[in-house]
């Protein structure tokens, strides 16, 4: 197997590359990544049988050549941060929609298997007291430029499956945490703010709920679907990890030896989704998948330790990220 992983130098993509490298030692992996502000070649350096092509998923020629060399494609490459999509939506339209279109056309030309990575945000949000969770049958109702372009990319995949018989599956996962996540995202931002002697920043009242999953569990779910998923199907990946943002910040503060109320409230994100919640029964029942990182506190402690031990990795991102937040008052 030679596997092409688009976006494989980003947070979830590089964790997936290391997961597959460990779990399938006979596979070759080609990372296809533009190395935007969110990608880092160090994330996949030094791994045998892993190579890197630095190119844009929107570049038809470069992508075609890479897809031709490989047996299957897992498509992670995307603009991924909601706050950025509110300031500057065009790169989201370009990479998430046009990029996915190019991936679909390339796998169609070469008859390759595709797994498309998506998000629970395509379903919009739930009320805090709604007993319902998202299932593969939930209607799409995205809120932000980010989630609407991800929703559009999923619909393109479905159309290429039905109209052209492309051999594809889709997964929609909930909020990931773990090592190598960019400091613009919620958990690493708060950890590195505390390490830098500043207070965590909670949007609005902090009542918004996210359904946390360790990125290793996302990886094992994707590998199961790639190998054993039914073609044309959508699988939801989640680990029953619902927590309010306030609870997460309080936990980070406590684990880092600070007072749990030592955070500040900042201006809320416009259009801020209230709650996400995943029902992963289909993945569990059909493919026998189970999350291994069931203890969020232990996973968070290990993640805090990783950021403590790897300032060389995150320091170069930090200043510019906080300058961007300062400019928008968050
Ligand atoms: P990330 O921003 O950390 O990484 C994205 C990667 O894609 C980077 O390496 C970047 O260089 C690369 N990239 C961006 N534009 C590109 C382009 N035009 N051509 C080639 N490469 C390009 O994102 P992430 O958090 O690792 O998310 C990866 C995928 O998982 C995305 O598709 C995202 O929608 C999805 N997802 C993320 C989460 C989450 O919690 N972070 C949850 C569910 C789904
Ligand atoms: O400083 C902050 N303070 C804060 O309260 C930041 C950066 C975020 N937040 C809130 C906003 C959200 O309610 O924390 C929550 C998580 O924020 P993000 O890390 O920006 O994630 P979210 O918007 O939920 O989207 C994430 O999960 C789904 C990923 O970024 C997406 O790529 C994925 O699709």
- Return per-residue pLDDT of the chain as tens, 330 residues: 999 999 999 999 999 999 999 999 999 999 999 999 999 999 999 999 999 999 999 999 999 999 999 999 999 999 999 999 999 999 999 999 999 999 999 999 999 999 999 999 999 999 999 999 999 999 999 999 999 999 999 999 999 999 999 999 999 999 999 999 999 999 999 999 999 999 999 999 999 999 999 999 999 999 999 999 999 999 999 999 999 999 999 999 999 999 999 999 999 999 999 999 999 999 999 999 999 999 999 999 999 999 999 999 999 999 999 999 999 999
Catalytic annotation on 120?
Answer: yes
In a domain, 22, yes or no: yes
Domain count, the chain: 1
In a domain, 268, yes or no: no
CA distance 152 to 121: 12
Which of the ligands is closest to the CA of residue 7?
1
Q: Is 92 in the pocket of ligand 2 (CB under 6 A)?
A: no
Identify the CATH number of the domain in which residue 287 sits: 3.40.50.720
In a domain, 195, yes or no: no
CA distance 4 to 65: 11
State the Cα angle at 323 between 213 and 191, rounded to 5°: 35
Q: Which long-range contacts (CB under 8 A, 24 or more apart) does 310-318 make?
A: 310/179, 311/195, 313/40, 313/42, 313/180, 314/183, 314/188, 314/192, 317/37, 317/182, 317/183, 317/184, 318/183, 318/192, 318/196
Catalytic residue selected from 146, 180, 235, 276: 146
Strand residues in 88-187 grouped as ranges (E)? 113-119, 168-173, 176-177
In a domain, 253, yes or no: no
Catalytic residue selected from 40, 56, 79, 120: 120
| Cα–ligand 2 centroid distance for 184 (angstroms) | 9
pTM above 0.85, yes or no: yes
- Domain residue limits at 280: 2-180+214-239+273-294
Nearest to 228 by CA among 220, 216, 218: 220
* Atom in ligand 1 nearest the alpha carbon of residue 35: 11
Pocket around ligand 1 at a 6 A CB cut-off: 6-7, 9-13, 33-36, 38-39, 56-58, 76-80, 95, 99, 117, 119, 150, 173, 175-176, 182
Q: For residue 258, what is the DSSP state?
A: S
Which residues lie across from 140 on neighbouring strands?
Answer: none
In a domain, 321, yes or no: no
Atom 2 in ligand 2: residue holding the nearest Cα:
186
CA distance 128 to 72: 39
In a domain, 24, yes or no: yes
If one counts every other C-beta atom within 10 angstroms of the C-beta of residue 197, the result is: 6
In a domain, 311, yes or no: no
In a domain, 258, yes or no: no
């Amino acid at each position: 197997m030679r596997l092409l992983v688009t976006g494989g130098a980003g947070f979830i993509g590089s964790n997936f590359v290391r997961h597959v490298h460990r779990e399938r030692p006979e596979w070759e992996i080609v990372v296809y990544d533009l190395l935007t502000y969110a990608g880092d070649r160090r994330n996949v350096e030094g791994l045998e049988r892993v190579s890197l092509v630095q190119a844009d998923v929107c570049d038809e020629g470069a992508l075609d050549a890479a897809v031709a060399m490989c047996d299957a494609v897992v498509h992670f490459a995307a603009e991924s941060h909601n706050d950025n999509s509110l300031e500057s939506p065009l790169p989201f339209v370009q990479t998430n929609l046009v990029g996915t279109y190019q991936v679909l056309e390339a796998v169609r030309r070469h008859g390759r298997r595709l797994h498309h990575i998506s998000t629970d945000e395509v379903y919009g949000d739930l009320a805090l007291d709604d007993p319902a969770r998202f299932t593969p049958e939930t209607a799409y109702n995205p809120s932000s430029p980010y989630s609407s372009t991800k929703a559009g990319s999923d619909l393109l995949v479905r159309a290429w499956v039905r109209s052209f018989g492309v051999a594809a599956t889709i997964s929609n996962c909930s909020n990931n945490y773990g090592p190598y996540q960019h400091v613009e995202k919620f958990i690493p931002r708060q950890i590195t703010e505390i390490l830098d002697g500043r207070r965590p920043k909670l949007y609005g009242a902090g009542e918004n709920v996210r359904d946390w999953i360790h990125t290793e569990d996302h990886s094992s779910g994707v590998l199961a679907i790639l190998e054993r998923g039914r073609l044309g199907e959508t699988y939801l990946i989640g680990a029953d990890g619902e927590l309010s943002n306030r609870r997460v910040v309080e936990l980070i503060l406590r684990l880092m030896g600070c007072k749990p109320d030592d955070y500040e409230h900042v201006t809320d994100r416009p259009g801020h989704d209230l709650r996400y919640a995943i029902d992963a029964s289909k993945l569990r029942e059909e493919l026998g998948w189970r999350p291994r990182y069931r203890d969020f506190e232990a996973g968070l402690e290990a993640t805090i330790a990783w950021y403590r031990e790897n300032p060389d990795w995150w320091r170069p991102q930090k200043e510019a990220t906080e300058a961007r937040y300062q400019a928008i008052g968050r």
